[in-house]
C-alpha cells in the first residue's frame, strides 16, 4: 500500500471513528419511567489471617438523578437483613429528587441478622416522563485499628417500567 492510500485510510478512520463511537454511546443511553433495584449492603467483613477479626461497616446508600431536565420520585427505600426480612423502611412518603440532585441514606446501626453477606436494599423510583437511569450505589465504610476499609456495590434492576 503506498503512502497516499495509508494517509487516506487513516483520515477516513479518524473521521468515521468518532461518529461510530457517538452512535454507540447514544444506543447505550437508556430512557425509562421507573425501576425497582436490588443493592447488596454488607454490615461487616472478616479480616485475617493471622488473627481473624470482624470489621463492622456502615452502609451509605447513594442515589444520583442523572437526568438533565426531569425529576424522579423515590417511592420505596427498604433495607432487608441476611434472612430477607424487612429491617427498616427509610421512606414514610415519596421523595422528589430534582434533575442532577442526589440523596443518601445511612444505616445508623446494623441490627441483628443484618451482618454478613445477605443484607440488601430494595429501591423503587418512578418518573412522569422517560428519564436517564439514576446511579444507585451502596458505599460501605469501616475501620479496624489504623486500617480503613471501604467497598461499593452497585444496584441491579429487578423490575422496570419502560412505558
Q: What is the CATH number of the domain that holds 103?
A: 2.60.290.11
List 78's β-bridge partners, or say none. Answer: 89, 122
The pLDDT of residue 98 is 98
The C-alpha R_g of the chain, in whole angstroms, comes to 22
Classified as helix, coil or strand, 10 is helix
| Count of structural domains within the chain | 1
Q: How many CB atoms lie within 10 A of CB 110?
A: 21
Residue 126 belongs to a domain? yes
Dihedral of CA 120/66/70/18: which sign?
negative
Distance CA 41, CA 106 (A): 11
Classified as helix, coil or strand, 5 is helix
Residue 4 belongs to a domain? no
Range of the domain at 60: 31-161
Residue 89 belongs to a domain? yes
Record the cell numbers describing residue 51, joined without a space: 488473627
Q: What is the pTM of this model?
A: 0.77
Compute the C-alpha angle 135/139/142, nearest 5°. Answer: 175
pLDDT of the chain, 163 residues: tens digit per residue: 566 555 545 554 556 555 545 444 545 788 999 999 999 998 887 877 888 888 888 899 999 999 999 999 999 999 998 888 898 899 999 999 999 999 999 987 665 545 567 789 999 999 999 999 999 999 999 888 888 888 899 999 999 988 7
Residue 21 belongs to a domain? no
Residue 49 belongs to a domain? yes
Amino acid at each position: 500500500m503506498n503512502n497516499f492510500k495509508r494517509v487516506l485510510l487513516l483520515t477516513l478512520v479518524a473521521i468515521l471513528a468518532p461518529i461510530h463511537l457517538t452512535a454507540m454511546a447514544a444506543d447505550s443511553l437508556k430512557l425509562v419511567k421507573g425501576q425497582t433495584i436490588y443493592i447488596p449492603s454488607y454490615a461487616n467483613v472478616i479480616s485475617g489471617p493471622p488473627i481473624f477479626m470482624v470489621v463492622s461497616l456502615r452502609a451509605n446508600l447513594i442515589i444520583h438523578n442523572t437526568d438533565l431536565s426531569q425529576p424522579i420520585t423515590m417511592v420505596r427505600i427498604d433495607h432487608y437483613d441476611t434472612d430477607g426480612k424487612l429491617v427498616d423502611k427509610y421512606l414514610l412518603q415519596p421523595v422528589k429528587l430534582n434533575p442532577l440532585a442526589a440523596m443518601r441514606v445511612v444505616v445508623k446501626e446494623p441490627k441483628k441478622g443484618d451482618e454478613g453477606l445477605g443484607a440488601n436494599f430494595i429501591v423503587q423510583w418512578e418518573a412522569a416522563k422517560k428519564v436517564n437511569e439514576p446511579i444507585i450505589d451502596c458505599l460501605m465504610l469501616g475501620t479496624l485499628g489504623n486500617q480503613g476499609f471501604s467497598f461499593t456495590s452497585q444496584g441491579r434492576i429487578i423490575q422496570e417500567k419502560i412505558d
